[in-house]
C-alpha cells in the first residue's frame, strides 16, 4: 500500500491523527476540516489514503460515514482499532485544583461526565478535542483545561493532569482506511477477512429476510448490519453489512448468489484483512 500521505478529519493532535501515527508512523498527515474533505483529497490523488472513524465502542456509529462512502469512488482496504484514552490537560505548572472549566468535543465530554461532575467542573462543548487543547495553550489560564489525547498534550506543550480521565475503560474507535485503488487480498485459507458492501432490497414481501437468509443457510457470519434511509426518501432504505469471510470462500459465494437474487444496487466497499484487535 502506498501510504505516504494520509488525510484525516480534525486538527493536529486529534484522535484520528493519533490513529494515523500509530498505523502508519512514517507517513505524512494532512488535517482536514471535514470527513468529506479528507475523502475528496484521496479521490483527487492529493492523498494516498484517508483514515476515517466508523464507530466507537461507547458512542456508537458515525452515521455520516455510512452515508458518504457509497457515494464516493473509494474502497476500504484496511481497518484499524485505536484505544481512546482521554487525558485531562492543563497549561504548564497547573494542577487539578486550579481548574474550573473543561472543554472538548461533546462526545469526549459525555465519555468523561462522571469525572467532570466529581471535580465540579463546568463543561464547554467545542468542535474538536485537539482544537480545545490548542485553545487552552493560547489562553494560558490555569482555570481552563481540555480533554484530549496525549499527542495533543505533546503538540501544544500542555501538562497531563490525568492520563485516564474517561469514565469507562476499554473505549475503542474502529477506523477504516480508504483508498482510490482496489486492493483485494488474495484468498488464503489461513487468514481471516471482512467483506463490506451496501445494497437495497427489491420491492417484494419479506425482501430483507430473504436477502439475508442465504448467509444463515450457508453458515456465514454477519459481523455488522446497519440500515439508513436514502436521501430524499423515507421509504427507501440502504443496508450496510460487514461479512466474516472472503468472496472466494465457497459458503460466502453461495450466500452472495442468494443476496443478488433478492437485493438490488449491490456495491462492494472493500475486502480486507481483519485487524489483530478482533483476536485480543
Residues with catalytic roles: 173, 175
CB atoms within 10 A of CB 101: 15
Angle at 274 (CA atoms; ends 25, 272), nearest 5 degrees = 85
CB atoms within 10 A of CB 232: 6
Bridge pairing between strands 101-104 and 122-125: parallel
Q: Is 76 within 8 Å of 120 (Cβ atoms)?
A: no
The three-state secondary structure class of 196 is strand
Say how far apart CA 176 and CA 192 lie, in whole Å: 17
Closest CA to 270 of 173, 153, 183: 183
Spell out where the chain has E strands. Answer: 5-9, 28-32, 49-56, 60-61, 75-83, 87-90, 101-104, 122-125, 144-148, 159-162, 172-179, 193-201, 222-229, 237-244, 263-273
The answer for residues whose C-beta is within 8 angstroms of residue 102's C-beta and 6 or more apart is 88, 109, 116, 121, 122, 123, 124, 144, 145, 146, 147
Bridge pairing between strands 49-56 and 5-9: parallel
Amino acid at each position: 500500500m502506498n501510504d505516504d500521505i494520509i488525510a484525516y478529519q480534525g486538527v493536529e493532535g486529534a484522535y484520528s491523527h493519533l490513529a494515523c501515527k500509530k498505523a502508519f508512523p512514517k507517513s505524512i498527515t494532512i488535517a482536514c476540516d471535514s470527513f468529506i474533505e479528507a475523502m475528496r483529497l484521496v479521490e483527487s490523488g492529493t492523498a494516498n489514503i484517508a483514515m476515517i472513524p466508523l464507530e466507537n465502542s461507547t458512542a456508537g456509529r458515525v452515521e455520516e460515514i455510512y452515508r458518504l462512502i457509497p457515494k464516493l469512488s473509494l474502497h476500504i482496504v484496511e481497518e484499524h482499532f485505536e484505544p481512546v484514552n482521554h487525558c485531562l490537560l492543563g497549561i504548564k505548572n497547573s494542577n487539578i485544583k486550579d481548574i474550573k472549566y473543561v472543554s472538548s468535543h461533546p462526545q469526549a465530554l459525555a465519555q468523561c461526565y462522571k469525572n467532570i461532575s466529581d471535580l465540579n467542573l463546568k463543561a464547554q462543548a467545542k468542535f474538536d478535542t485537539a482544537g480545545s487543547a490548542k485553545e487552552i495553550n493560547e489562553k494560558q489560564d490555569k482555570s481552563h483545561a481540555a480533554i484530549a489525547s496525549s499527542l495533543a498534550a505533546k503538540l501544544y506543550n500542555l501538562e497531563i493532569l490525568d492520563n485516564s480521565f474517561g469514565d469507562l475503560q476499554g473505549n475503542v474507535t474502529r477506523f477504516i482506511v480508504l483508498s482510490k485503488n482496489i486492493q483485494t487480498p488474495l484468498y488464503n485459507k489461513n487468514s481471516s477477512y471482512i467483506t463490506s458492501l451496501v445494497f437495497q432490497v427489491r420491492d417484494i414481501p419479506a425482501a430483507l429476510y430473504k436477502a439475508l437468509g442465504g448467509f444463515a443457510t450457508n453458515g456465514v457470519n454477519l459481523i455488522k448490519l446497519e440500515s439508513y434511509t436514502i436521501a430524499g426518501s423515507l421509504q427507501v432504505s440502504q443496508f450496510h453489512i460487514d461479512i466474516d469471510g472472503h468472496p472466494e470462500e465457497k459458503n460466502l459465494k453461495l450466500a452472495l448468489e442468494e443476496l443478488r437474487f433478492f437485493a438490488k444496487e449491490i456495491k462492494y466497499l472493500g475486502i480486507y484483512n481483519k485487524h489483530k484487535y478482533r483476536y485480543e
